[in-house]
Structure 1
């Protein structure tokens, strides 16, 4: 049977401008919130199409201690959109659907529209009309393409070997103290001298350097190092205060809230 959920009208932020950031990893409850805010016109949705997980499961236990998770319902937004993305092409296609978004250009903005991706996934044609937005994840009001610049194989190697975090712990914490970070988090940046020191640290770790990819990732590396340094002293709040300064989705949200 259908169950409807209604807001109580006692929210803590009933007035004021609101932006919700989503991307392809935004799933389940967060999609329900984003979809409700979008359908009711309470705020804007910024980023990329969400994951598309809108199934409700219930666990049934057996006498031998095992259990079965059974899908019993689907979540819909107030306008009637199903959040769950399509299974029509089978389980394997569903499992690799995010890879497909990358390959066909949806995430990087090379594809003409979100509508194209839905039509491809569901095998249907969506006419341009006053119909509500199609089902299968939440479509943002403001699209922010995935920034792939600087994210190459060498950068991935540095991350997997924990070179970035080790450098912060072993080197940067000796150069920058907590007081400096707290007072200057919005203004200070890591520069060329820090990058040269980082290269020397990589060499001492006997990591084979691909200089082209290294310098291609320079801005990403320096931003990550600063964010990790802020996390060391100020926790996750410090990390995101730093990371948000270079986050394109955050920038677009601020622009659209003005």
Structure 2
């Protein structure tokens, strides 16, 4: 045997090893000239993780270290580039997709049991006979109550593949029955259009809580139904809407703007500009539009407000919006996690960037901007809004608008301190209203049998005795002695709205809440004034 032949197995082995090494390093977006180059920054991080994995004196969860490292890197960029860990990605994706596969119930982890608030209208649980107040004890024979009650684990048991069945053991307190109910899983919508109804004979109302994949279809369906009811004017409520998909905002803005009107444009780091124009498909181009915004209306909400304001279409009502003019793209990191990285800025049709400054990256000051606005008096008086005269722009009709930090409304409405105050906000965040109302309903749900949603909204009233019981309930839980005398009317409205949600739906909740909403009252007034001027 020659010397060359003798070394063939060794050479082959080395070649295979090199191939495996390259394959492990290969990124399929890399070009061939990058495969054999090194990146000292990446190598440094990889080596550090390897040293900790193999040499550190104690066992360490390096996955958590990687998460901290990724977040540390993003903290030095902008406030809106974020990391989504693997454990959260499915939930985030479902929320932005606008649906999930499950059994269709709204529920509370009440005490140690899964208690049904109400089944989703038209959903599989409703069809199977599940009712509000039911307690679900078993799912496919597995116990889902008791000391080890875990909402995340329960969610996994109730979700599953579309078309599969889950066998439930249900206890119904009203009749003291134990029931065996089989529910076939199906797609359950996560609604982004919370409510739509008529405010007046010709003024429709739509409230959206985000811009998900399903939002445009929901919006269009609501708009069509309102037009069928006679709506020639629309109040689009984007208060507290943090945004979402830019393309969905484009589609909605297109409904109001004439063909070829600029909706927005974006620029990336290389200065490449991409324009988004309205098409001829809009169904509300002739209609009168009011956009409701506040200090928590952000991103895609501001795209719509800015597009209409800069095209002299409609009226922006409320308070200066959040000020987010950065566009993110979600990118997978290969291990089930993802990053939403800022890839461009967007601009309104006049060329405004409404992104507020973030010189210190993810600083506390950036996230505490609300309290700055509150203490400065901006939320109570438009005279206190700080405007940068160097960022002045003019619309085609000559209206002056400003960039540099949110959309300044055409008509200012101050914050309602009787409704939006620390005590009320805490009670709403804590869930006390929901649990209290659930317990009240549990005493006797039958008294609401036969009461229509319309009759409840228009005629039902919450007694002072119920407010006192709620006061006692909160004080018992919190160990306080708070008196609700000063908030009596607001507490009554919130209890009634929560009852409406648990008995009927979110639409009923919004109708009740909006009965004394000063911003909606202002929109109705503006609409009526416009009618008088037209006549």
Give the TM-score taking structure 2 as reference length: 0.42
1:181–1:233 CA contact under 8 A, matched in 2:
no
1:46–1:249 CA contact under 8 A, matched in 2:
yes
- Higher RCO, Cα 8 Å, sep 6+: 1
**SS in structure 1 at match of 2:276:** coil
Establish whether residue 147 from structure 1 lines up as the match of residue 416 from structure 2: yes
1:150–1:218 CA contact under 8 A, matched in 2:
no
Which residue pairs with 1:162 in the alignment?
Answer: 431
2:332–2:339 CA contact under 8 A, matched in 1:
yes
Following superposition, the deviation at residue 162 of structure 1 comes to 2.8
CA distance in 2, matches of 1:42, 1:77: 13
Which residue pairs with 2:494 in the alignment?
Answer: 224
Following superposition, the deviation at residue 207 of structure 1 comes to 3.9
Query: Counterparts of 1:61-100 in structure 2 under 5 Å?
Result: 69-88=340-359, 91-92=362-363, 93-100=365-372
Q: Which of 465, 471, 494 is residue 193 of structure 1 equivalent to?
A: 465
**SS in structure 2 at match of 1:4:** strand
CA distance in 2, matches of 1:91, 1:246: 37
Between stretches 92-101 and 63-72, larger displacement belongs to: 63-72
Between stretches 143-152 and 224-233, larger displacement belongs to: 143-152
The change in CA–CA distance for 1:170 and 1:16 in structure 2 (over 3 A counts) is same
Following superposition, the deviation at residue 63 of structure 1 comes to 6.5
**SS in structure 2 at match of 1:255:** helix
Query: Counterparts of 1:130-141 in structure 2 under 5 Å?
Result: 132-135=400-403, 136-141=405-410
The change in CA–CA distance for 1:53 and 1:179 in structure 2 (over 3 A counts) is farther
Query: Counterparts of 1:1-258 in structure 2 under 5 Å?
Result: 1-60=272-331, 69-88=340-359, 91-92=362-363, 93-109=365-381, 112-114=383-385, 117-119=386-388, 132-135=400-403, 136-149=405-418, 154-156=423-425, 158-172=427-441, 174=444, 177=448, 179-180=450-451, 182=453, 183-202=455-474, 205=477, 207-211=479-483, 214-258=484-528
1:18–1:257 CA contact under 8 A, matched in 2:
no
Between stretches 17-26 and 194-203, larger displacement belongs to: 194-203
**SS in structure 2 at match of 1:75:** strand
Tell me the C-alpha RMSD between the 2 structures.
3.0
Question: Which string of whole-angstrom CA distances, capped at 9 and with x for unpartnered residues, describes residues 4-60 of structure 1?
Answer: 111002112222221111111111111101111111122111111111111112345
The change in CA–CA distance for 1:160 and 1:127 in structure 2 (over 3 A counts) is closer
Q: Which has the higher strand share?
A: 2
Q: Looking at CA atoms only, which structure, 1 or 2, has the larger radius of gyration? A: 2
Corresponding residue pairs, total: 249
2:393–2:400 CA contact under 8 A, matched in 1:
no
2:393–2:401 CA contact under 8 A, matched in 1:
no
CA distance in 2, matches of 1:66, 1:58: 14
The change in CA–CA distance for 1:191 and 1:58 in structure 2 (over 3 A counts) is same
